[in-house]
Every structure is written in C-alpha cells, then in structure tokens.
Structure 1
Amino acid sequence: MKTVEAIKDTNQILLMKSFLKSRSSRDYCLFLLGINTGIRIHDLLHLYVHQFIAEDGSLYDHLMSPVHLEPPVYLNHQVQQALTSYIEEEGLSLNDYLFKSKRTNEPISRQQAYRVINEASRQAGICEPIGTHTLRKTFGYHAYRKGIAISLIQKRLQQSTPSETRQYIGVANTTLQIKLDVNL
C-alpha cells in the first residue's frame, strides 16, 4: 500500500474543489468535509443527514456525533453552505446517509470515494500519491500551518502521540513558518 500525502498547495485544493463542485455536489461535500474536519473516511461515509440538520430544518454548527465530541467537529461557513445546497438539491431526508449512492440507499463505498478524490487530484495536476487518507492529512497539515496546537490536531485525528501526528501530517522533519495571526 502506498503512503499518501497531504495536499499542501492551496491552489491545488482550489482546483480540486472547482472540479468537484462542477461535477457533483455530493463529491464536493465529501471533499470539503474531509479536508475541513479530519474525520476518517469510514466515519464520513457513514454519517447521516440528521447529524447535520435538526428536525426543524436548521443546520447545526457542529457535527452531532457521539464519536466526535472531543474536540467537537466544527462546521465552518463554507461547509455549511455546501451541505445546505447539496441536501436541498438531492432532496435528502433526515434518515438518509449523507453520502448515499445514486443507485442504492447505502453510502458510497470507500473505493468510490477513492476514485472521486483521485480523479479530482489528477484534474488539479497533483502527481503525488493521493488516497482517502489525504483528506485527513490535508486537514492536519493546514491546521498545523495555521497555528493550531499539535495536541488538538492529535486529538481530532485520534492518534497516540504528538510525534505520530507530526509524522502523519508530513511535518516531522520540516520547520514550518507558522503565523499566529489573530487578525483583530
């Protein structure tokens, strides 16, 4: 099995997002949730609509999941917009899988998720090995670059040690220029 890397170039991320958005709102949401939350692909594929939307139709600002409590999974504005559009466009009900197959009521397979991510990466000109773990690694890498404490990233990625997390996100042997910019 090949080791995959984080997508470190934000321009490549933008190209992937653009490709996926033009192709499928489901695939676009999968990519956005993956790179913005760091949730494992198995967990992503088994999320239900009711974990994002209340019965009154309002969107939660955090994922309602008993598995992802510490720290809670925040749904940023971009993710919320994509989810709202996708759920409305597809007419998904609260009890549907969020990433349900077009042919069945089951979630898409891990292999299908891999194909989606891989095709988008090729369209963005990425030559490095890409896989489903790329989403988590990309989340961790960019969170670290933005100054999020490695201990919080470690908790989100559910890893044992900070050094394991640094290795996983590809920053173990590099010195990154981190900006702690409050931007008040």
Structure 2
Amino acid sequence: MDIEIREFITYLHNTKKTSANTEISYQRDLKKMAEFLKERGIRNYKDVKELELEGYISYMEREKFASSSISRSVASMRAFFQYLWKEGVIAEDPADNLKPPKVEKRAPEILTIEEVDKLLQQPKLDTPKGIRDSAMLELLYATGMRVSEMLHLQIFDVNLQFGYVVCNENGKERIIPIGIPCKKAMERYLQTARTVFVKDEKETALFTNCSGKAMSRQGFWKVLKGYADDAGIKRDIAPHTLRHSFAVHMLQNGADIRSVQEMLGHSDISTTQVYLGMNMNKMRDVYMKTHPRH
C-alpha cells in the first residue's frame, strides 16, 4: 500500500507542482490512514470501502484529533483515491462522499503597530547575526510574504536600486515593493553581514545560517521567538504573525483589498477578506470608544 502513496506523491510533485510542505503533509496523512487499514486486515486499496474511511474519521474524532487535522486528512484521502480511480487502480472511489468536520475559523493573531516596532528594534546591529535578523524581520513586515517564500529568496531576487523583491513560489512570481527602513536593513545585511556567513561563492540563498547554508524554517522560528520574548510580547506569536499584521495594518491605513491580495499572493480574494473583517472590528472598537453618540 505504501507503493501507491509514493507514486501519488511523485504525481503531485511532477504534475501538480506542489510544494515540499504539501507533499510531506499528504504523505504523513496517507501513511496514518494506511496503518489504520492494515490493522483491520485491509492490504489492498481495491478492498477499501466508504465505510472503512468513515471508520477512520470516527477513530480520529475519538482520539481527539484537531478538527483542522481531520479536515486535512479527509482532503488527502479524497485526492488520493481520486488519483487511484483515474489511474484505474480501483473501480470505484470510496472517498467521493467523505465530508470533513466543520472547522471553526479563528481570526489570525496579529500584533499592534507598537508591538511590531518593539519587535523590530530587538536585533543588535553591532553583530552580523543581529544585522541579518533585522533584515529578515524588516523584510517580512515590509512585504507580508510567507516565511517559506522569504527563505527561498535568492540574492538576485532583491532589487534595492528600485526598491522591490521578486517572490517565486510554486512557479508563480510576484513583485513586492519595500519601504525605506527595509531597504536600509537589506543594504546593511548584504554589504556587511552576509559575507561573514557565506564563504562559498556558489551559495545564492539570500538568508543563511551562521554556517553559510540556507536558513531553515525551524532556524527562523527560533530567531523570531527569541526576539518576541525579548520584546515582552506575551501573545502566541507564530511565523505567519508578521504576515497577518502586515495585512491588517495595510488595510487600517487605507490600502485597497485588491492591492493587499496581490502583495500577499492570494489567488482567491475571500482569503484576503478575513483581514478586512478584522479591520472592521478594529474600526468598530474605535467608533464605540470615541463617537459622542455611539
């Protein structure tokens, strides 16, 4: 049963051009499903019926899996069995009618403008590490790009003369402008700190660790968490927090939603509208506190 999963992941990679993170998630979900089926004596996908898959969903619910995890597993199973059906491996698709549990959407955590300012002031600019960290934090907040997108940037993706970065993710390219503080932080990093870390001229990753290799997501997470603690930020900060904060602050200061959608790289504007709703909540709070006849 593992062979079919590997072939499916290869299909996603070669045909659908999915990201490495997406492929890892699919593989993890499907391997857990396969283990569940094997424990119940099912060792061929031709023998899998809708009842077995519903049983797996019920098992995850009993084991208190998060609704979001179950929903992702259902999506993985639907995509996998549809692939097997199209390839002629199975005669019927047992996952066609599977329904994920309803997931309660939580508003993303954002920082206030004051908290962002305090966070960005934490790196010490008298060390190469501090200069690098300052450039990373400034770039994330200036562009709203995903952490994975920032970590995939190459040195030739940055144009400081005209003040923009070129973001490439899954074959899609977008150009995002950067402001003066970010531009200065990037110039300082490229002129003084990057050469301290990078000894191999063939290394083109924009941001590297202290060994001169491309910065990992885990490495950046430690950097962010450390500075958040130093800044006294008590809320649950995550790698995407600066992205969420960027979007809400842009809307609060008058940016139109289409421009924010383009900068964030959302294919569907409904994804961006989550931030518009948060902006409306902020305006409502301000109104209730300040209007004389509220």
Q: Match for residue 97 of structure 2?
A: none
Match of 1:46 in 2: 152
Q: What RMSD over aligned residues (CA atoms) do the two structures have, in Å? A: 2.9
Q: Once the 2 structures are TM-superposed, how far is the Cα of residue 48 of structure 1 from its aligned partner?
A: 1.2
- SS class of match (1:16): helix
Contact 1:35-1:135 at 8 Å conserved across structures: yes
Matched, 1:63 2:165: yes
- Map 1:1-184 onto structure 2 (within 5 A): 5-7=109-111, 9-22=112-125, 24-53=130-159, 59-65=161-167, 67-69=172-174, 72-90=175-193, 91=195, 96-105=204-213, 107-167=214-274, 171=278, 174-176=281-283
Aligned equivalents of 1:40, 1:159: Cα separation in 2: 11
Q: Measure, in 2, the Cα distance between the counterparts of 1:149 and 1:94.
A: 41
Runs of at least 4 residues off by over 3 Å: 64-68, 92-95, 160-163
Whether the 8 Å CA contact 1:62–1:73 is kept in 2: the answer is yes
Three-state SS of the structure 2 residue aligned to 1:118 is: helix
Any unmatched runs of 5+ in structure 1?
Answer: 179-184
Calculate the TM-score normalised by the size of structure 1: 0.78
Asked if the contact 1:50/1:94 (under 8 Å) is kept, the reply is no
Moved more, 120-129 or 152-161: 152-161
Instruction: Give the number of the structure whose alpha-carbon radius of gyration is greater.
Output: 2
TM-score, with length taken from structure 2? 0.51
Residue 49 of structure 1: how far off its partner (Å): 1.4
Q: In 2 relative to 1, CA 170–161 (structure 1 residues): closer, same or farther, beyond 3 Å?
A: same
Q: 1:173 to 1:74 in 2, by over 3 A?
A: closer
CA gap 1:176/1:81 in 2 versus in 1, 3 angstroms: same
Cα 1:163–1:113 change in 2 (3 A) is same
| 8 Å CA contact 1:163, 1:172 repeated in 2 | no
| Contiguous gaps of at least 5 residues in structure 2 | 1-65, 67-105, 287-294
1 CA distance for matches of 2:270 and 2:166?
Answer: 29
> More strand per residue: 1 or 2?
2
Shift of 1:63: 1.4
- Which structure shows the higher helix fraction? 2
1-structure distance, mates of 2:209, 2:115: 27
For these two proteins, the number of residue pairs brought into alignment is 170
**Per-residue deviation, residues 100-119 of structure 1 (Å, max 9, x unmatched):** 111143x2111111111111
* Aligned counterparts of 2:252 and 2:154: Cα–Cα separation in 1: 31
Q: Report how far residue 145 of structure 1 moved.
A: 0.8
What is aligned with 2:16?
Answer: none
Say which structure, 1 or 2, has more relative contact order (CA 8 Å, 6+ apart): 1
> Which has the larger displacement, 11-20 or 160-169?
160-169
Using the aligned pairs only, state the percent identity.
22
| Mapped contact 2:252–2:279 kept (Cα < 8 A) | no
